[in-house]
Amino acid sequence: MAAQCFFAFILLASGFSAARLQTRDSQFHATLSICQLAAQAISPASDVFYPGSPSYAEDISHWANSSSAPAACSVETGTAQDLRILGNTRTPFAVKGGGHSTNPGFSSTTGVEISMSRFSEVIYNASTQTVEIGSGLIWDDVYAALEPYNVTVVGGRISGVGVAGFTLGGGLSYKTNQYGLAVDNVVAYELVLPNGVVKTITSKDEDLFWGLKVNIGQLIFYDAPTPPSGLFDEFLAIPGIDTTVLKTQSYLSYVKAAALPPGGPRVFYGAASFLQFTKPLLQAVINETKFWGDTLTPHSATVIVNSIEPFLPSLFSHGAPGSSACPPDRSVGLLPINLDYAWTDASEDARMHGALVRSARQMTAAAVAEGQDVALAAVYSNYALFDTPVEDIWGKNVQRLRKIKRRYDPLDVMGLAGGFKFYMVLNYTIEFNGLTTEI
């Protein structure tokens, strides 16, 4: 959940006239004039860019090109004040962190694309064992900044993933078995509220803090100096295993090595949740992978991957019951499958979407058939397809989330942005765990 923020780009204060927006101009021209007014109104710490400029291209770009859209302009804001973009002009906008969302329109728009890239500080406080992280960073940058201190955080596993989206969606990390989700380790958020106020939110701000707490290949991660001898023998005997990354290295170097290119210009993710990965369930997953590989390859599919993520069933036990909106039930550990399809032909989008939905259902049905109580299990928000009903992600918490939204965003400013989102985060303070960066 994110981005329920108030966008009031200070334009009202700088003599912006409503009449100017209510001309017969198309939405595009109205948006463009907002871009121009924004350019005049913002402080020197911020900039507005237009199509043709390299900064614009960078700002609208995403890991999956299908998640990008031709924005009227992009805005790189350097201060929280400049983020207060005009809510009442009803200008569509998007907020981008690391740009790894695979859901079109979640961090892209044909309106104003707001890039958080200038929120890029990493400030480590050794005495409190916390770090303050700008929401425009990717995890690689965070690990690199922390490496000299020999500390690390519960963050992303693959190079390039953004701090903001990852954390707002929960955040499954190599450290999750030990320390829980990323969100379980956040002690404060800095928010722009829908009334334009910039506020630090801690657990004292009960509703907002709770609401914010929502939102490959063969990887092996051993988090101790020397593994007991023979521990990985069976694993390493699997034909085709890539052993080149199997060495003692820093967290940063491991994550950097785990770069995962999209494999095609268009990518959607899907998700299903299980209690355990049994052999028959894995066979059903293999069958799904083959079936959809065969079915979709003639339709320009380039990648059909179903990644199983066998965390410990205790993965949700690191936060108190009800301490965050997501996962909705911490009493049962849910292990995700991440469905990952890539293809080239945009006219096949609907087919790929339909296949992802069907395949996730089929795998769920296989688990239910063997007795797993997962027919209504919550799906992981960071892998959920764009049209997943919010009840399937936040379960019984949806009601309280809607109430919070009504209170803080009565004008539905955040409805102008995409996503399953609620609030805008500027900086994170993340509690330190694991003092080792060695893996």
Ligand X SMILES: Cc1cc2nc3c(=O)[nH]c(=O)nc-3n(C[C@H](O)[C@H](O)[C@H](O)COP(=O)(O)OP(=O)(O)OC[C@H]3O[C@@H](n4cnc5c(N)ncnc54)[C@H](O)[C@@H]3O)c2cc1C
Q: Does 100 bind ligand X (CB under 6 A)?
A: yes
- What length is written for the chain? 439
Q: Is 156 in the site for ligand X (CB under 6 A)?
A: yes
| Residues 293-332, mask of contacts with ligand X (x by CB under 6 A) | ----------------------------------------
Spatial separation of the C-alpha atoms in residues 421 and 139, rounded to whole Å: 21
Mapped onto helix, strand or coil, the DSSP state of residue 88 is coil
153: left (phi over 0), alpha (psi -120 to 50) or beta: beta
Angle between helices 349-369 and 279-296 (to 10 degrees): 160
157 touches ligand X by CB under 6 A:
yes
Binding region for ligand NAG (CB under 6 A) out of 2-10, 123-131, 203-211, 250-258 = 123-131
Q: Is 132 in the site for ligand NAG (CB under 6 A)?
A: yes
In the block, residue with structure tokens 């069933």: 313
Q: How far is residue 330's CA from residue 319's CA, in Å, rounded to a whole number?
A: 8
The residues near 397 (Cβ < 8 Å, ≥ 6 apart) are 214, 325, 326, 328
Q: Which of 12, 260, 275, 332 binds ligand X (CB under 6 A)?
A: 260
Question: Does 66 interact with ligand X (rule: CB under 6 A)?
Answer: no
Read off the DSSP letter of residue 270.
Answer: E
Choose from ligand NAG, ligand X, none: what does 158 bind? Cβ within 5-8 Å by kind. Answer: ligand X
DSSP, residue by residue, 392-438: HHHGGGHHHHHHHHHHH-TT-GGGGS-SS---EEEEEEEE-B----B
Calpha distance 198→130 (Å, rounded): 21
Candidates 74, 135, 152, 364; binder of ligand X (CB under 6 A) is 135
How far apart CA 245 and CA 235 sit, in angstroms, is 14
Q: According to CB under 6 A, which one of 11, 75, 86, 116 is a site residue for ligand X?
A: 116
- 115 DSSP β-pair partners: 76, 96
Q: State which of residues 40, 287, 314, 399 lies at the interface with ligand NAG (CB under 6 A).
A: 287
Shortest distance (Å) from residue 31 CB to ligand NAG: 16
Which of ligand X, ligand NAG, none has residue 110 at its interface (CB below 5 to 8 Å by kind)?
Answer: none
Site for ligand NAG in 189-208 (CB under 6 A): 190
Q: Which is nearer to ligand X, 33 or 273 (CB)?
A: 273
Residues that bind ligand X (CB under 6 A): 2-3, 63, 94-102, 106-107, 116, 135, 156-158, 161-162, 164-166, 168-169, 171-172, 260, 382, 419, 421, 424-425
Residues that bind ligand NAG (CB under 6 A): 65, 68-70, 79-80, 121, 123, 125, 127-128, 132, 134, 149-150, 190, 265, 284, 287-288, 291, 362, 426-427
